[in-house]
Structure 1
C-alpha cells in the first residue's frame, strides 16, 4: 500500500489537516472568544503549513525531478486545504459558511498563499544550494564530460 502513488498524497493531506485540527482545538479550549488570539493562532497554523510544505519540497526535490514531486505536493496541499476548509469548522462547532463567504474565501487564499510560498521557498533553497535533482544531474554530466580522455587527432 505504501508503494501506491496516492499514499504520500493522502498522508500529506491528513498531516496538514491535523495541523489545522490542533490549531482549532487550541483556539476552542484556550482562546475561545478572544479574536486577537484566534487570529494569531490561525497565522501560526498557516505558517506551520508553509514550513511543512517547504521542508517536503526541499527533501523531495533532491530525490526526483520536479515533474514527479510537484503534482504530489500540490495534490496533498489541495486535499489538506479542502479538509481544512470543509471539515475543519466542525471541530470548532461551526459549519464552513457560518461566518459568510468572505471568510471562507479568505481562508482559501491564505491557505493557497502559504502553501505556494512554502513550496517555492523550499525549492529555491535547494536550488540555491545546488542540491536539487537537476543541479545534481548537471554536475554529474560535467564531471563525466571532464573525466573523458582527450581525443588524439591524427595528422
Structure 2
C-alpha cells in the first residue's frame, strides 16, 4: 500500500508546495499590484505544468499507462483541491472570498496545465521508446528472436 500511494502523495505535496511558494511571493512581493499578482499566478501555473513533465516521464517508465493516468490524475486533483481550498489561507484570504467562479477557474487552470505538462512528459517518453509498453515489446522481441540451443546428435 505504501509503495503505491507514497509517490502519489509526494507528487501532490510537491505541486501544492509550488502553489504555496507562489502565494507567498504574491503576498510579500507583489503587494496590492494586480498586474504583478496575475503575472506571478500565471508563472506559478506554468511551473506546475513544468513540474509535471519530468514527473510523468519518471512515473511512466516504471508503470503501465493506465496506472500512470490514474495515479497522476489523483495526485493532481488532490494538489488542486489543496491549492484552491487551503492555499488562500496562505495568502491571508478565505477560499470563497472572491466568489465561486474564481475557485472553479483556478481548479480548471490548475488541472488543465498539469494535464498539458503530463502529456508532454508522456509524449517525450514514448518518442524515446522508454515507456513501460515499449520496453515490454522490446523484451518480447529479444526473447522470441533468440534461437534455442541446438541439440547435437552423435
The normalised TM-score by structure 2 is 0.89
RMSD: 1.7
Give the equivalent residue in structure 1 for 2:90.
Answer: 91
Hey, what's the Cα distance between the residues in 2 that align with 1:13 and 1:63?
18
Task: Work out the CA distance in 2 between the residues paired with 1:59 and 1:96.
Answer: 33
Offset from partner CA, 1:10-46 (integer Å, 9 cap, x none)? 2222211111110001001010111111111111111
**1:122: Cα distance to partner?**
0.6
Within the alignment, does 1:127 sit opposite 2:126 as a pair?
A: yes
Any unmatched runs of 5+ in structure 2? none
Aligned residue pairs total: 149
3-state SS of paired residue (1:83): helix
Are the structure 2 counterparts of residues 115 and 88 from structure 1 closer, same or farther at C-alpha, using a change threshold of 3 Å? same
Structure 2: distance between partners of 1:136 and 1:4:
22
Structure-1 separation of matches of 2:101 and 2:70: 28
Q: Secondary structure at the match of 1:97?
A: coil
Aligned to 2:55: 56
C-alpha distance in 2 between matches for 1:92 and 1:129: 41
Q: SS of the residue aligned with 1:95?
A: coil
Give unmatched runs, 5+ long, in structure 1.
none
Structure 1 residue 66 and structure 2 residue 65: aligned? yes
Structure-1 separation of matches of 2:81 and 2:62: 28
Residue 17 of structure 2 corresponds to 18
Residue of structure 2 in register with 1:117 after alignment: 116
The TM-score with structure 1 as length reference comes to 0.89
